[in-house]
Amino acid sequence: MLSLRMEFRGYVEMRFAVALFLVLGAAFARSQEVPEYRLPTTFKPISYRLDVTTHLENKFTFEGVVDIKITCLKATNTVVLHSNNLNIDTKGVAVSDGGGKVVPVTGVGFVTKTELMHVKCAEKFKPGNEYVLTVPFMGNITDDLVGYYRSSYVDKETNQTRWLAVTQFEPADARRAFPCFDEPALKATFKIRLGRRKHLTSVSNMRLLKSTPMPSNPDYVIDEFEESVPMSTYLVAYMVSDFAYVESKNPEEEVKFRIVARKDAIGQTELAKNAGPLVLKYYEDYFDEKFPLSKQDMVAIPDFSAGAMENWGLVTYRETALLIDPNVATIDNIHRVAEVIAHELAHQWFGNLVTMKWWTDLWLNEGFATYVAARGVDYLYPEWNSFQLENVQNFLQVLDLDSLQSSHPVSVTVGHPDEIAQIFDTISYTKGSFLLHMMNTFLGEETFKQGIRNYIDKHKFSNAEQDDLWSSLTEEAHKEGSLDPNITVKEIMDTWTLQTGYPVLKVVRDYAAGSVTLKQERFLTIQPNSTDKKSCWWIPLTWTTSSVADFSQTKAESWLNCNTKNYTIPLEIDDEWVIFNMQIAGLYRVSYDTRNWMGIITLLNNPDEFETIPTLNRVQLIDDAFSFSQIGELDYGITFQLLKYLKHEKEYVPWLAALGGLGPINQLMKRTPNQGLFQNYMQRLLANLYKRFGNMTVELDGFEEIRFKNLVIAQACRHKIKDCTEQALALFKQWMKTNDPDTNNILPRELKTIIYCQAIKAGGAEEWDFLWERYQRSNVGSEKAKLLSSLGCSSETWLLNRYLNWTIGENAIIRKQDAITVFYSIASSDIGYYVAKDFLYRKIADISEYFQPRGDRVGRYVKVIGSQMKTKEELEELNTFISKSSAYLKGADLTINQTIETVKINTGWTSKFYHKIINHMV
C-alpha cells in the first residue's frame, strides 16, 4: 500500500500521511499483549468460499456467508478467528468434517477488544483432519474508508449522486467484511461470488467466470469469479459500481490489463493503460518470475484513505494516483501516477507473491515496493534521471526523521491493530528503500538482483521474514565473491534494521601524522546526557581526498564495524580535505573538524572547481552542515560560509538540500520579530536563481529543470519577492476575466498551485468563491487537489473557519480523505495557524469521532500544529491539551510522542540560536 508519505518533494497530500512513531519499548508498551491479539496456532485455513450480496442506493448494507476449509493443527474444541463490527447469525454457524458430518456447535462468542470470534464445539477437533466452518453474516457499508465501505460521485450528465462499494482490508480490516483468519501468514485460496443489482457491475481479484440471475431476487444477479491463488486476507478485494473500463490492446500481453473508473473520468486513463503493462513486464524480467494471474485491474476510487492498495489482480487507487488529464497535468502529476503504479505493481511480487509472516517485517513489502518503484519509473522515463533524485530525497528525509529518539526500528514488534496502522510510515517505506539501495551498492547490482530472484523463487506463494532475505543475499554474495566469506548480510544489515536511528561517522584528523581516525555514534537531534554506547552499525566506508579527488568508487573499501572501536587510515600530509561516503552510498552523516570543513568550503566557493565534488556529495555536505549546526556541533558561521557557494550552483538537488535545510529555520522565524530579517536573507539568496527562472509564462523542458523552476518560484513568492507576487496576482486576475475559466485556464500549468495560493492570500471572498467554484466544477482529481490546498491560503479568518467547518461531521462538504489536506494548508500560513489551532482545540472530540476507527489520523492534526511550536509556554500548552484530550487521541500515541519531541527540539533551538543566527544573515 502506498501511504500518503511525508516527503521532501512538494506533494502536499503526501506530506502528512506519515504516521509517526515511538521508540520500541516505550511506544509499543502494549506489545506485551501481543498473544491476546494473535490467533492461536490451532487451525490454518486452506480455502474460502465467500458469497456477498451488496445493497446500495440508501440501504448501504451487505449480507453473505463464508465457508472456510480449515486444517486442525492442535487438538481443541474451539475455532478462533476474526470478526469486527459484523452481525453474525450465531444459529447459522456450522462446522462439518471432510465427510460432511456435522460437528455440533455449542456456543459462539465474541471478544470486542481483541476482535476475535470463538466457535465452541461439542467434540474435539483432531490434528491433521480438515473441517468446514460456515458463518452467515451481515454488515453496514460505512463511510469509514476501511473494510467494505461506500464511496460516491456526481454523474456529470444527470447531476445525480452515484454510489459504489469497495474494500480496503490492509492491515487488519478484512474482518470487518467477513469472518476470517485475518493474519498475513494464514494464506488460503478464495472463491468469491458477488450479488449485485442488474444495472451495476462487480470486480474482484480474479477473472469473472459467469453471471447468473439471483433466484431469490429478480433485480439481482450473481457474479462468480475463478478461484484465486493462495493469498493473505488483506489482499482480498471486490467492488460493486457502475464504473466503466478501458483495456490495454497489446496482443502480445499475456495479462489482460484494464483501467476502471467512473465513466466521466475514463478519458484520463491513457497513461495508466500504457504504463501498467510496461512496468509489469519490466518486473517479470527483473525478478525472473512471471506474474501469476491472468488479469490485472487498476481502479480509481473517489474516496480512498491511502494513496493506493496492491490487492492482487485488483489494485485500488485514489483518483489523483491513477488518472491523468494530459491537458492540465503537471510533470509532478505524471511522476506521481507513474510512481504509484510502479509501487503497487512491485507489490505483486513483494507483498503478494512473497508476504511477510507478520507486520513486524512490513518493510519487506513497503521498502521493496518503494525501491523497486523508483527503478520502474526510471525504466518508463529514463530521460528524467528520477532514480538518482528518488535516492537523494529518501536520504534527506530519513536522516531528518530518524534522528529522533521517538523513531523506531525498520523491523519493529507490533501487536494491537492500532500499532500496525502506525508503522505504515517513512521508516518502513523510505528508510527501507534506502537500505536496499545501500545493499545494492555494497553487494553489486548482479549479486543483489540474483539474490532477490532466489528469495522470490524460494518463498513464492508463501511467507518470509527478513532473515530469509539475508540468507538468500548472503548465499549469492558468497557464491559470486562480492562479500567476504567471513561476513554475512545478516551481520551487517541487522545493525540497520533491528535498532533505531543511524550513525554519524566522526572523522578525527591528525594533520601532522597524515592520518584519520574514525569513530561512530548514533546521531540524535536532542543530544543525550551521555554518549550512546549501545548503538553500533556496520558502516560501509568510501572516501577520497583533495590529492586524489576520485568520487567514483561507491562500493565499500572497508567497514567500520561493531568489533572495531577506532579505525585509522593513512592520508597524505598535505591533503586539504577528506570526504567520506561517496555519492551518498551509505545511510550516515559525516562529522569533520573545522579545518577540514574550511578546506571543502574553499573548494566549493571556487566557481571553476566546485564541481570537483560531485552533485550528490554536495547534497550531503549541505545537509550535514545544517544538521550539525542545529545540534550545536558546528558553528552556524561555517554553514553559512558554505551556503555562499550557492551563487554559482546550477544543479537542482543541492538547492533542494539547501532550501530544505533553511526550511526549519524559516519555520522557527515565522511569527517572530526576526521574520523580516530572514525574509530579506532569502530574497538575496534567491536573487540570481530568480533572474534565471522568474518569468512565470516561460515553459521549460526536462524533469529536473521544471522541478527546479517550481521550487524557485514557490520560494520567491513565499519570501515576498515583489515581482513574483505581482506576476501571480496579475495572471490570476486575467484568468478571472476569461470566458469559461474552467476550459480556458490561462495560468502556466506547472505554477498553478503557487499562483492560486498567492491570489487567495491577497484576495478576499470574491477570489475565494471563484476558486471554490472551479473546485466544484472540476472533473480532474489532481486539479481538485491543487484547488483544495490553495483555498487554505486565505488571510480572512472567517473564510478559514468556514472552510474548516466544511471538513468534518455529518454535513461535511469536503471528502473525508481530503480533510487533513485542508487543515494542513490552513495551519501552514501565519494567520491560518492560529485559526487551525483554535479549531483543533475546540473540535478535538468531533475530529476523533469523525475519523473512527482510524485513531492514527487524529494524530496528524496535532502534529501539524505542534511542529510549529517553539517556546516553553507552547510546549506546556500542548502538553495540557494532550492530557485533557487523551480519550480522543487513542491510536495516535506514536504521533503524539513524536510531536512532543519535535516541540522540545524547536524550543531548545530557539533558546540557543534564535538571536545568534541572525548575525549570519545580515
From residue 398, alpha-carbon distances to 393, 865, 888 in Å are 9, 21, 29
Q: Active site includes 344?
A: yes
Q: How confident is the model at residue 749 (pLDDT cuts 50, 70, 90)?
A: very high
How far is 367 from 350, CA to CA, in rounded Å? 9
- In the predicted model, what is the mean pLDDT of residues 873-895? 90
Say whether pLDDT at 366 is over 70: yes
**pLDDT at residue 33, as a whole number:** 42
Residue type at position 214: M
For residues 1 and 423, the answer to whether their CB atoms sit within 8 Å is no
pLDDT of residue 890: 84
Q: Is the pLDDT score of 28 beyond 70?
A: no
Helices (H) and strands (E) in the chain, counts: 28, 31
Partners of residue 849 on adjacent β-strands: none
Amino acid at 430: T
pLDDT for 67 equals 97
Q: Please, what is the average pLDDT of the chain?
A: 92
Write out pLDDT tens, residues 367-404. 999 999 999 999 999 999 999 999 999 999 999 889 98
Give me the phi and psi of 674, to 5 degrees please.
-95, 10
Choice between 893 and 840, residue whose per-residue pLDDT is larger: 840
**φ, ψ dihedrals at 151, nearest 5°:** -135, 165
For residue 183, say whether it is annotated as part of any ligand binding site: no
Contact criterion met (CB below 8 Å) for 45 and 55: no
pLDDT for residue 306 is more than 90: no
H/E run at residue 489:
helix 489-497
The answer to whether the CB of 169 falls within 8 A of the CB of 314 is no
Q: How many C-beta atoms lie closer than 10 Å to residue 921's C-beta? A: 18
Write the CB contacts of 110 (distance below 8 Å, at least 6 apart in sequence).
83, 88, 116, 117, 118
For the beta carbon of residue 472, count every other beta carbon within 10 angstroms. Answer: 22
Tell me how far the alpha carbon of residue 878 is from its chain's centroid.
Answer: 26
Q: Are the beta carbons of 250 and 179 closer than 8 angstroms? A: no
Half-sphere exposure (Cβ direction) of 348: Cα atoms closer than 13 Å: 33
% of the chain residues with pLDDT over 90:
85
d(CA 178, CA 801): 40
Cell representation of residue 382: 529514463
- Give the span between the Cα atoms of 665 and 502, in whole angstroms: 23
Query: Cell 507576487 maps to which residue?
Result: 725
The confidence score (pLDDT) of residue 110 equals: 95
Q: Is 408 part of any known ligand binding site?
A: no
Average pLDDT score over residue span 835-855: 91
Interval 496-550: pLDDT, tens: 999 999 999 999 999 999 999 999 999 999 877 665 567 899 999 999 999 999 9
pLDDT at 35: 66
List, for residues 673-697, the tens digit of each pLDDT value.
Answer: 999 999 999 999 999 999 999 999 9
Cell numbers linked to 204: 474482484
Strand bridging mode 208-214 / 295-301: unpaired
pLDDT in tens, 759-772: 999 999 999 999 99
User: Three-state DSSP class for 365?
Assistant: helix
Which residue's C-alpha cell is 495540557? Answer: 880
List the catalytic residue out of 344, 390, 521, 783. 344
Q: Which residues contact 649 (CB under 8 A, 6 or more apart)?
A: 610, 618, 655, 658
Question: Cell numbers of 159, please?
Answer: 447531476
Q: Are 616 and 653 in contact (CB under 8 A)?
A: yes
> How far is residue 788's CA from residue 784's CA, in Å, rounded to a whole number?
6
Residue 18 has pLDDT above 50, yes or no: no
- Split at pLDDT 50, 70, 90, the class of 895 is confident
| 237 φ/ψ angles, rounded to the nearest 5 degrees | -150, 145
Q: Give the three cell numbers for residue 790.
A: 490553495
How much of the chain exceeds pLDDT 70, in percent? 96
Q: Is 915 labelled a binding residue?
A: no
Residue 117 CB: number of other CB atoms within 10 A?
24
Phi/psi for 317 (5° steps) reads -135, 155
Spatial distance between the Cα atoms of 647 and 684, rounded to a whole number of angstroms: 10
Question: Which residues contact residue 91 at a Cβ distance below 8 angstroms, ignoring those fewer than 6 apart?
Answer: none
User: Is the previous residue joined to 409 through a cis bond, with omega within 30 degrees of 0?
Assistant: no
Segment 105-134, tens digit of pLDDT: 999 999 998 999 999 999 999 999 999 999
- Under DSSP, is residue 16 helix (H, G, I), strand (E, B) or coil? coil
pTM of the model: 0.93
Q: Is the pLDDT of residue 568 over 60?
A: yes
Distances (CA, A) of 407 to 353, 404, 426, 449, 606: 30, 6, 10, 30, 39
pLDDT of residue 85: 95
pLDDT tens-digit series, residues 46-86? 999 999 999 998 789 999 999 999 999 999 999 999 999 99
What would the grid cell of residue 453 be? 530472484
Give the three cell numbers for residue 423. 508503522
- State pLDDT tens for residues 770-793: 999 999 999 999 999 999 999 999
SS3 sequence of 407-454: CCCCCCCCCCHHHHHHCCCHHHHHHHHHHHHHHHHHHCHHHHHHHHHH
- pLDDT, residue 785, reads 94
Give 873's contacts (C-beta < 8 A, 6+ positions apart). none
Which pLDDT value is given to residue 865? 95
Q: Are strands 189-197 and 43-55 parallel, antiparallel or unpaired?
A: parallel
| pLDDT of 145 above 90 | yes
Q: Is 847 helix (H, G, I), strand (E, B) or coil?
A: helix
| Residues facing residue 569 across a β-bridge | 516
Give the mean model confidence (pLDDT) for residues 244-268: 90
The pLDDT of residue 421 is 75
